[in-house]
Structure 1
């Protein structure tokens, strides 16, 4: 007779940081039940009771409250993860996972012990346009053909914050930088940079698929985001969690885009506000002021 397997399945914690979008959060969380591998625990980090609606009583979920801001809320969640968990997954409250997303992420970690962070492949990203409704996102996933037969992991410049997973032991002692306030522009790149500095691998895989709805409700003002578009990359260069060239590319591309499109801005983007924030950020940078927390005062 065969003996029972002694291989322990990894314990998985799924984390959402949310504020002011209880309706879409409820729809996104409901899709977690469709996963072929379900998390052992779900943590929702919010600011007030209104952020979670009636999800508080959902089995297998705990709701924690703390200071507002993406990085602060993610750190609050980290503080409540039990010590014996193996994989921590951060999903945006407007990201729809393919039914096998968690399964493929787990497979990637099992394939190579040097992998510390895995980010998936985004089929459609509403952040670059007016955004998708929940129904549109679900339709895109429904049209997805079978997953690629072979999982391929490629090194990436950093995880994409809307869908990223970490090996718990690889990020022990790390925290999201709370100086990156509000929307936390480039907080994912910063966290990935901390992992690189430890000598571990950050990869993207082709089989963990999803749709980022890019819901515009709950976003910060154009001026605040525009300031972060300039200051945050340079701040990360100083921290040595982002190389200089990618930082310059980020800044130049965003400032140029805001200049060109402020003439006839998209209805869903405050281009002139972003440009104003860009100029304030450039002025602060020229004066030697790397203050990523300043948007809270703009």
Structure 2
């Protein structure tokens, strides 16, 4: 397809603990109808990138960068490597985009100069269930209907598995991912995108489609995630990027869901661990200890004591 300029796109992937899935994503990104100008993978441990063939590393000219483990930290490493590009596109390592995804994102930013951040439209989201297989993603992408003209609609925030931003806005506003949100970094995507919202629009591009596997490896402790489900909401509300009405509703909803489902938990979710983390978070709220970084230090032995 004929594309306008500018179209200098960075694809940035923060990865941890999913080498096989990441390697397949990289292979598929080589088939995008429009190739990114740069391709950066931020990894925590050497094994994270061990399954990517050397031929793909060379053909895509992948830049590998590393730093401390944690989604926000690893994404900030990618921000530190921006140069003079126009669009920065973040993919989770288990998000499989349709071959036209990058082209549709470029189209959105070109046609809507007031848009600072964008997220795509999911054909399926395995995060809401036991997860999807790569074969499921391939089938859904192959049969997807892609609109010739991609309408956009304003949204509350971008979804972290696939989100794009104007590089000049990031630089001008000094936007960073909050490294006080450690590990899996619950709601870091909302915090980052809504920090740009006062200066422009955040939209969903309905023609930029893909599948989020919702892979369950690399997620870490259910207790730590449960703690973040409570504390991160209140922390971001105090920070100003999350309305109090939404924060209280989110924290309460997740606590109730974990409490009810812990009676008969799904085999793919550590509900009891999440509920225990919720309770630790509520205890910290009562002590006025709003420190999301504590999630990185919580252990089962400490909880038991």
TM-score (norm 1): 0.94
* C-alpha distance in structure 2 between counterparts of 1:257 and 1:143, whole Å: 34
* C-alpha distance in structure 1 between counterparts of 2:176 and 2:221, whole Å: 25
CA RMSD of aligned residues (A): 1.2
Alignment of 1:31-42 (within 5 A): 31-42=28-39
Which stretches of structure 1, 4 residues or more, deviate above 2 A after TM superposition?
7-10, 54-57
Local SS of the residue matching 1:36? coil
Q: Cα 1:8–1:137, aligned 2, differ >3 Å: closer, same or farther?
A: closer
Look up the match of 1:17: 14
Q: Cα 1:238–1:248, aligned 2, differ >3 Å: closer, same or farther?
A: same
* C-alpha distance in structure 2 between counterparts of 1:156 and 1:249, whole Å: 18
Local SS of the residue matching 1:229? helix
CA displacement, residues 17-50 of structure 1 (integer Å, 9 cap, x when unaligned):
0011111100011111111111011100011211
Deviation at 1:150, TM superposition (A): 3.2
Deviation at 1:250, TM superposition (A): 1.2
* C-alpha distance in structure 2 between counterparts of 1:123 and 1:254, whole Å: 24
Look up the match of 1:113: 113
| 2:299 paired with 1:280 | no
* C-alpha distance in structure 1 between counterparts of 2:253 and 2:147, whole Å: 33
Deviation at 1:10, TM superposition (A): 2.2
Residue ranges of structure 2 left out of the alignment (5+ in a row): 299-305
* C-alpha distance in structure 1 between counterparts of 2:149 and 2:69, whole Å: 40
| 2:191 paired with 1:190 | yes
CA displacement, residues 235-265 of structure 1 (integer Å, 9 cap, x when unaligned):
0111101111111221121111101100000
| 2:218 paired with 1:218 | yes
| 2:80 paired with 1:79 | yes
* C-alpha distance in structure 2 between counterparts of 1:162 and 1:72, whole Å: 16
Whether the aligned pair in 2 keeps the contact of 1:46 and 1:52 (CA below 8 Å) is yes
How many corresponding residue pairs? 289
Look up the match of 1:62: 63
Look up the match of 1:91: 91
Deviation at 1:56, TM superposition (A): 7.7
Whether the aligned pair in 1 keeps the contact of 2:114 and 2:200 (CA below 8 Å) is yes
Whether the aligned pair in 2 keeps the contact of 1:44 and 1:61 (CA below 8 Å) is yes
* C-alpha distance in structure 2 between counterparts of 1:184 and 1:262, whole Å: 23
